[in-house]
Amino acid sequence: MRILFLAAYSELAAASRIKVYQFLPELEKRGIKCNVICFTPSFVFKIRQASVSNKKLLLVYYCLLYLIRPFKTILAILLAPRFDIVYIQEPIIPFGLEKLLKIVNKNIVFLFTDAVFLGPQKTDKFLERARKKVLSKYWERLSKVAVYCLVENDYNKEVVLKLCPNVEKIAGPMDTDKYLIKEYKKHSGPVIIGWVGTVFTSKYLYEIKSALQNLAKKYDIILRVMEATKNFNIEGVVCENKIWKKETELDEVSSFDIGIMPLPYDEWTMGKGGFKLLQYMSLGVSAVASPVGINKEIVSDGVNGFLAKNSEEWEEKLVKLIKDENLRRKIGERARATIEERYSLQKATEKLLKIFNQISK
C-alpha cells in the first residue's frame, strides 16, 4: 500500500509532528510506502512564530503561505494517482482544488485538529478573521470529499458527522517507546510547575494567574514555561522561560514536578485535543487541567490527574501535589498507565491501518 501524506507544516510544528511524521516509521515497519508533501516549510513557520513580536511579519507569512500552498496542491494532484490513499492533515487545499484531487484519487482521508469549523471569532483581528474564514470553508469542502475523517474528540466528531459518514477518533497519540516515564528522585529545592505549548497559547496561563500568585506566597515554586511569549511573566511568581528544542524537549518536560493545562471554557477550546496533557502523562508527570473538552475524557479526577474548574480548585489541587511527593509519583504512574492503555502510538497506528485497509479494498 502507498500513502501520500499532505502535512500542514514541517516537524517544527507539534500538530504535524504528532499527526503525520511520527506515524511514518511505524507504518513503514508494516510495509506501507509513505511520501510526504509539506505545505508550510520550516522557514515559513519560523516567520509565523516571529510574528508574535513583530506584527509586520504576519502579512509576510500569509503572503508566502498562499503562494506556496497552491503550488503544493498542484504537485499533490499530479502525484496522487500513484498512491492508494491521500491523507490530508488540516484544511490546507485552496481554491476548491480538492474536487480535482478527488477525481484523481477518491480515497481521501482528512484529519483536522481544533474547532477550525467555527470560523472567525469576535475578538479576532483582521488577518486572523480572514484566515479563519478561509480555513472554515476549506474544512467544509474537504469534509465533504473525504471518505474518512479523523478527529480527536467527540465535540469535533459530532460536527463533521453532518458532512462525512465515516469518522474516527484518534487522540494524541504518544510514542511510548520514546516517551519514557521520568525517574523519581528524592525531592529537594523548589517544586517545578511546568507548562509546554506555543507562543500562541501561553495566554491561557493567565487563566490561573491568581492561583499561582497565592501559591507563590506560601510555597517554594517555580513556573517553568516552554515556548511562551518572550519574557513571559506573572508578577509575584518566579518564572523560567525555556525555548523548545526537539533534542531537549523530553528532558525539559520530565523536569516538571507538576504539569498544567489551564483553558477557558468556550467553543474553540472545546475542540482541542489535549496534547500537552497527554505529553505530561506519558512521562509520568502528575498533571492538573481544566475540565474542558477531551480533558474530561483523559483525566479521572484524583486518579490519574486532577481537574480544576476555577481558581479556588486550581489552588486546592496544586497544593495537594506540591505538599505530597508520593502523591505526585502515584498520580504520574497511573497517568502513564492510561497512556499505554488508550493513547499509545502503536495502538493508534493499528487503528489507522484498519481504516486504510478498509478504504483501499
What pLDDT is attached to residue 285?
97
Q: Are residues 199 and 300 in the same domain?
A: yes
In a domain, 186, yes or no: no
Q: How far apart are CA 192 and CA 219, in angstroms?
A: 11
Q: Are residues 10 and 126 in the same domain?
A: yes
Q: Are 26 and 346 in contact (CB under 8 A)?
A: yes
Q: Are residues 196 and 317 in the same domain?
A: yes
Decide the pairing of beta strands 85-89 and 108-111.
parallel
Amino acid at 89: Q
Q: Are residues 123 and 259 in the same domain?
A: no
In a domain, 179, yes or no: no
Neighbours of 105 (CB within 10 A): 18
Q: Are residues 214 and 319 in the same domain?
A: yes
Of 141, 166, 351, 159, nearest to 270 by C-alpha is 159
Q: What is the dihedral of CA 313, 316, 319, 321, to 10 degrees?
A: -60
Summarize the confidence of residues 45-60 as an average pLDDT.
Answer: 82
Would you give the DSSP letter of residue 74?
H
Lowest model confidence (mean pLDDT) among 78-92, 110-124, 134-148: 110-124
In a domain, 181, yes or no: no
Does pLDDT of 122 surpass 90? no
Does pLDDT of 229 surpass 60? no
What pLDDT is attached to residue 175?
95
Those residues whose C-beta lies under 8 Å from the C-beta of residue 31, and which sit 6 or more positions away, are 1
Give the three cell numbers for residue 167: 469518522
Q: How far apart are CA 282 and CA 178, in angstroms?
A: 9
Q: How far apart are CA 190 and CA 204, in angstroms?
A: 23
Q: Are residues 34 and 168 in the same domain?
A: yes
Of 194, 286, 181, 279, nearest to 239 by C-alpha is 194
Neighbours of 235 (CB within 10 A): 8
Q: How far apart are CA 346 and CA 350, in angstroms?
A: 6
Q: Are residues 225 and 334 in the same domain?
A: yes
Q: Are residues 122 and 25 in the same domain?
A: yes
Summarize the confidence of residues 42-59 as an average pLDDT.
Answer: 83
Give the three cell numbers for residue 351: 487503528
CATH number assigned to the domain comprising residue 291? 3.40.50.2000
Amino acid at 344: S
What pLDDT is attached to residue 228?
53
Give the three cell numbers for residue 328: 505526585
Would you give the DSSP letter of residue 18?
I
Q: Which of 38-52, 58-72, 92-106, 171-185 has the highest mean pLDDT?
A: 92-106
Q: How far apart are CA 329 and CA 285, in angstroms?
A: 8
What pLDDT is attached to residue 230?
65
Q: Alpha carbon 189 to chain centroid distance?
A: 31
Does pLDDT of 246 surpass 90? no
| Residues of the domain holding 101 | 2-173+344-360
In a domain, 262, yes or no: yes
Task: Report the number of distinct structural domains present in the chain.
Answer: 2
In a domain, 274, yes or no: yes
In a domain, 295, yes or no: yes
Q: How confident is the model at residue 94 (pLDDT cuts 50, 70, 90)?
A: very high
The structure's pTM equals 0.88
